[in-house]
Structure 1
Amino acid sequence: MVFQRQDDDGSGQPTGQPAVMLYDDSIELGSKTRLLDDNGANPSISPDGSRVAFVRDGRIVVADLRGENEVRLTPEGVQYDHPTWSPDGRTLAFSSATGARQVYTAVADGSAAPVAVPGLNGVPAYQPHRKERVARLSGTDRFATALAVSRSHWRTLGSPTDQRRGANAVVLSRSDTYADALGGAVLAAEKEGPLLLTPPAELAASTRAEIQRVLTPGHSTVYLLGSSGALSTRVEDQVRAMGYYVQRLAGKDRFETSLAIAKAIDPMPDMVFLATGMNYPDALAAGAAAGAQNEVDSDYSAVVLLTRDEVIPPTTKAFLDTLPRDLRRIFGIGQQAAMAAYSYGTDSSVWGVWGADRYETARDVAVEFFEGQTYTGFATGTDWPDALTGGALMGVLGGPLMLTPGTRAELGNQAVSLLHETSGSVHTGLVFGSPSVVNSAQQAQIGVGLSGPLGFSSATNPTSGTAVSRG
């Protein structure tokens, strides 16, 4: 939190200038307070916790939480006071400090002059809530849903008006089974590109078009997951003929393929997420969590490796043995993988995260590895394709992937619980898949959980940068 400090002379009378201070209770050592401005008053922190507005010599000033990157919203010569943020953090309201105390508003980036609010005087206050959004990313089948997920975030090549991120790579997985793909979401997040699907024998036409939409030939790589038995040499040749570099990540089975994917991310990762490769739900939740650790400028790298339920395959164990014991962190996601992790080691570098079922495990992963996220993803827990491609996006956006119980009328207690706990920071719920897999009733419950009685807004397959963008 931020606060104003005012020294006194011992009798309660203020002396000297007020100062704006930051108090951070997450600091473990040393002082938890930090000076932001030695001549500021009446601070107000932004809704996302990244900026602070305050008054200095009668002017409204916005700065980051280091007291840097200042923006002065009001001109010299006029006295203003009482800055307060709008719920979306885009504007501030404040009042003149003299006369009738006229209320003004101004955009928080200082790009326009303050504007008076007719007929409104006194100390301003915004209604402290906004309508949150639920966006459904879906198509008529798993291929089309993967395309909708990609189009929601990655910009089109050569579009001067598209301000979204450009993709650096594409990860390509077979569309008929999950075995080789469970580590792919982490790879897509780390390489900063979408995860797309194709049949094993032939590159799907729609997938071909999406690769061409986001990647520049001659400069970009398409990663193929699995051996030629998973994605054929014809698919590989088709991708090469389009002008892209191809890197195939494969082993003799799903376990060695997950290891090849992990080494392509980081041969010495800081965090290893173990999940059973004999089923898909736990690995999908783990993929979003691991992917979120690999964001640009992160101090950590993370990978997903597969277990044979409660057994760690020999090649995976040999890889774990190469990691420095004093630096590694191993997380068993789901009960089987947690037992496998504990069988490998019981020291402080090994943890288990699991619940009574796949839905509770997904929630526990969300609670353990995310804090202050602005996006939460939702996909059916009864099938894998939409959760796989959606989980790759969640890794990029830095949000968890929750699993819902198919097309039941109720969203599920675990997802509802997470919504209640995180609605203060989450502004968008992303639903992956059509109403035939995550129905409209569940979508509505997500909106209510995020936004409450004010209501929520809905979108289907948004493609604007403000709809699905990490910022």
Structure 2
Amino acid sequence: MSRWAAVTAFIIMLTLPSMAMAETTTLSQASEQWSYVALGDSLAFGIQNDGTIGKSYADYISANLDEENVQHDFTKQFAIPGASTGDVLDQLKNDPKVKLAVSKADLLTITVGANDFLNVLKSHPEDLQDPLKVQELMKNAITNYSQILGMIRQANPHVQIYIMGYYNSFYALPAEQQQPLKSLLLGLNQSIELLANQPGVWYVPTIDAFEGHYSEYLPNPQNVHPNQDGYKTIASQFFMKIENHLPVQIHRIAGNTRYQTAVEISKNGWESANTVVIATGNNFPDALAGVPLAYKFDAPILLANKRLSASVISELQRLHAKKAIILGGPNAVSGYTEDQLKGMGMEIQRIAGEDRFETAAFISAFLHSKSDTAVVVNGLNFPDALSSASYAAEQGYPILLTRSQKLSEDVEKSLKSFKRTIVVGGSGVVSNELVTHLPNPERYGGSNRYETSAMVATKLNPSHHAFMATGENFADALTGSVLAAKRSATFLLVPPNKIDDSIIAASENLGIHTFTILGGEKAVSPNVEKNLMQLK
């Protein structure tokens, strides 16, 4: 521990009891909207590297919160260029508007401390060469900081507080001038980090994120402020901490039928689409391998019965689609459906083999994937294929289907193009013997479809956003997987009425805070939503 950290630890020990009296909580209601307040100096205010006023890191955090649909309001009006810890403490003591904003905040970010030393550097630089004066400055700054946190917690027991450590803004100085200032900066950061060691407060480091990017983020050596790329980088460091504590958000995309749900998924993901993929809504085999293909062409998957429904035709018109890729032969998607599409002036391409295995192999060839990896799943049932579909799509991996004990000739031939295979499903659905004949196989399989889904999400496709669909039917997961890939979300299968323990564990381990449920309440019941709201 440095001497500055030791000083800080002693000061915190004296002041911590008053700060720890109030209990902190993590907010987690689906309808919850946060109030965000940014306090601090010019970095919170938004001074640019050319001295003008622009967006600060707080603006980019606010934009991220808006994107997550959790922000009610945001203000950085109390951030002051040049503010020291004493200035922020004075605000909290004497400005009723600041105190009111803090009392109502759910999220608060603070950047303060550097000016306690920069102001001295400008007026009396020789003081920073005196260890006793520097120690006194550090002690005063940390005492103020401790009181700032104490007053915030007293005004608002539940607000989440994120405090920033500073980057090195002295990179352009000669080494002999830079080193003492950098040492002082590191001491300040250590002290700030120690202050964050209490409930409901998190330290946000930035120094490593700027290391090696100084000329990129700090193009003006005469100005300590970053450009917009630098501010975005600071915001990303904050948000990596914040997103672990975001309130759970639950959305549902559903129609009255699986065909209408597919239309609603299309509406949620595409304003227009040159190409669409058409699959049967009655059975899964031909469509299982189609998600990577749809993703490649940025195409929604729409479902047909014996013919296209009025809602699907309307959606095709809204999308201004010009081409339809049909998965499967006429027994899957009828000739009448094809005639309907042609009647709308659309170009048609049908991908169909003698069976599901050959169809999957044809889709793989049609992808023209440059990847050396293929996903192999059991083709006689749908869950494992759909658990891995969004991951395979985003990675550009084709999905090949197999029986549990033996590869078809078409799939065996396709596999010669790949150096590596990812096997999804346990030994009961893809046998150990078969796996030994695959190129460099890696298996991801649990004891049931839900454990397998959880394993794929956790180990292959981690995200804070999960799409969810019933594990008892294929349609909603099929059409939703393309949108999940488009949103860089993971995918989880759930029982219709209650979340499997393995899915709960995966959701908590991944820190998932946004869930998009696919299908109506008969497919995924409201009880599943209640289970999600209880996640830690």
TM-score, shorter chain, exceeding 0.5: yes
Counterpart pick for 1:342 among 421, 427, 435: 435
Give the CA deviation at 1:316.
0.8
Residues 339 and 72 (structure 1), Cα distance of their counterparts in 2 relative to 1, 3 Å cut: farther
Partner Cα distance (1:443, 1:82) in 2: 34
**1:415-430 superposed matches below 5 A:** 415-423=503-511, 426-430=512-516
3-state secondary structure, aligned to 1:302: coil
1:432 equivalent in structure 2: 518
Residues 315 and 268 (structure 1), Cα distance of their counterparts in 2 relative to 1, 3 Å cut: farther
Give the CA deviation at 1:102.
7.8
Residues 341 and 152 (structure 1), Cα distance of their counterparts in 2 relative to 1, 3 Å cut: farther
Give the CA deviation at 1:309.
1.9
Partner Cα distance (1:119, 1:167) in 2: 48
Q: As a proportion of its length, which structure holds more helix?
A: 2
2:263 equivalent in structure 1: 147
Residues 245 and 72 (structure 1), Cα distance of their counterparts in 2 relative to 1, 3 Å cut: farther
1:447 equivalent in structure 2: 533
1:378 equivalent in structure 2: 468
Counterpart pick for 1:308 among 399, 403, 406: 403
1:233-284 deviation digits (Å, cap 9, x = unpaired): 2211211221221111111110111111122222553321111111111111
Give ranges in structure 2 of 5+ residues lacking alignment. Answer: 5-37, 67-73, 92-96, 103-147, 154-158, 162-244
3-state secondary structure, aligned to 1:443: helix
2:453 equivalent in structure 1: 362
1:308-345 deviation digits (Å, cap 9, x = unpaired): 1231111111111133xxxx220111123363652314
Partner Cα distance (1:119, 1:322) in 2: 64
Partner Cα distance (1:274, 1:333) in 2: 6
Calculate the TM-score normalised by the size of structure 1. Answer: 0.66
AA in 2 matched with 1:361:
T
AA in 2 matched with 1:377:
F
1:101 equivalent in structure 2: 88
Q: Does 1:318 align with 2:318?
A: no
Query: Conserved in 1, the CA contact under 8 Å of 2:458 and 2:510?
Result: no
Partner Cα distance (1:356, 1:393) in 2: 27
AA in 1 matched with 2:88:
R
1:351 equivalent in structure 2: 442
Paired-residue identity, %: 26
3-state secondary structure, aligned to 1:246: strand
AA in 2 matched with 1:416:
I
**1:9-158 superposed matches below 5 A:** 59-60=42-43, 72=47, 76=51, 88-89=64-65, 93=76, 95-96=79-80, 97-98=83-84, 100-101=87-88, 117=98, 122=148, 127=160, 129-155=245-271
Partner Cα distance (1:318, 1:391) in 2: 27
Name whichever of 119-128 and 334-343 sits farther off: 119-128
Residues 118 and 76 (structure 1), Cα distance of their counterparts in 2 relative to 1, 3 Å cut: farther
Residues 73 and 250 (structure 1), Cα distance of their counterparts in 2 relative to 1, 3 Å cut: same
Partner Cα distance (1:273, 1:338) in 2: 15
2:385 equivalent in structure 1: 283
Counterpart pick for 2:343 among 233, 241, 245: 241
2:297 equivalent in structure 1: 191
Give the CA deviation at 1:427.
3.5
Partner Cα distance (1:54, 1:132) in 2: 26
1:348-374 deviation digits (Å, cap 9, x = unpaired): x31111010111011111112123x23
2:311 equivalent in structure 1: 206
Residues 332 and 205 (structure 1), Cα distance of their counterparts in 2 relative to 1, 3 Å cut: same
1:43 equivalent in structure 2: none
**1:265-276 superposed matches below 5 A:** 265-276=367-378
2:278 equivalent in structure 1: 172
Name whichever of 260-269 and 389-398 sits farther off: 260-269
Partner Cα distance (1:77, 1:401) in 2: 44
Q: As a proportion of its length, which structure holds more strand?
A: 1
Partner Cα distance (2:254, 2:454) in 1: 23
Partner Cα distance (1:309, 1:242) in 2: 41
2:141 equivalent in structure 1: none
Name whichever of 173-182 and 388-397 sits farther off: 388-397
Give the CA deviation at 1:213.
1.2
3-state secondary structure, aligned to 2:277: strand
Aligned-pair RMSD on alpha carbons? 3.4
User: Number of paired residues?
Assistant: 347
Give the CA deviation at 1:397.
1.8
Give ranges in structure 1 of 5+ residues lacking alignment. Answer: 1-7, 13-52, 63-70, 105-115, 156-165, 294-300, 453-471
AA in 2 matched with 1:226:
G
Q: Which has the larger radius of gyration?
A: 2
Name whichever of 385-394 and 431-440 sits farther off: 385-394
Query: Conserved in 2, the CA contact under 8 Å of 1:309 and 1:340?
Result: no
Partner Cα distance (2:326, 2:339) in 1: 11
1:19 equivalent in structure 2: none
Partner Cα distance (2:324, 2:521) in 1: 31
1:83-113 deviation digits (Å, cap 9, x = unpaired): 7956955667574315642899xxxxxxxxx
Query: Conserved in 2, the CA contact under 8 Å of 1:378 and 1:404?
Result: yes
Name whichever of 351-360 and 120-129 sits farther off: 120-129
Query: Conserved in 2, the CA contact under 8 Å of 1:103 and 1:117?
Result: no
1:125-169 deviation digits (Å, cap 9, x = unpaired): 9526443311111111111111121111212xxxxxxxxxx4342
